[in-house]
Amino acid sequence: MKLSDCMPQRISKFAVGMILVAAALAMTIISVTILPIIGLVLVVPILALAVYVFKMHLNDQCEIDPSKDN
């Protein structure tokens, strides 16, 4: 599979991850100023979801496997 076939998956994965990180940062700022306890409780799952998205594997054809040297 060509690299260009995997670019939409990589870009969308990165975009979703960055949106979640931005949402977590925005919620952190809001939680510090407006809702200290409730806001921080909401930030943790959003940040965990962002980490999960960044660690999520693409399909087998698009994954980079360092153990395979071609």
Summarised one tens digit per residue, pLDDT across range 16-70 is 899 999 999 998 888 888 878 888 888 999 999 998 988 887 777 776 655 654 5
**What is d(CA 30, CA 64) in angstroms, rounded to the nearest whole number?**
38
Residue 43 lies in a domain: yes
Residue 70 burial (10 A CB sphere; 0-12, 13-18, 19+): exposed
- Classify residue 27: in a domain, yes or no: yes
Number of domains present in the structure of the chain: 1
Report d(CA 50, CA 32) in Å as an integer.
20
Within a domain: 9: no
Residue 56: both structure tokens together: 């999520």
Q: pLDDT digits over 56-66, tens only?
A: 877 777 766 55
Q: Is 63 helix (H, G, I), strand (E, B) or coil?
A: coil
Residue at 32 is within a domain: yes
Domain that holds residue 52: 22-56
Query: Looking at the domain assignment, is residue 1 inside a domain?
Result: no
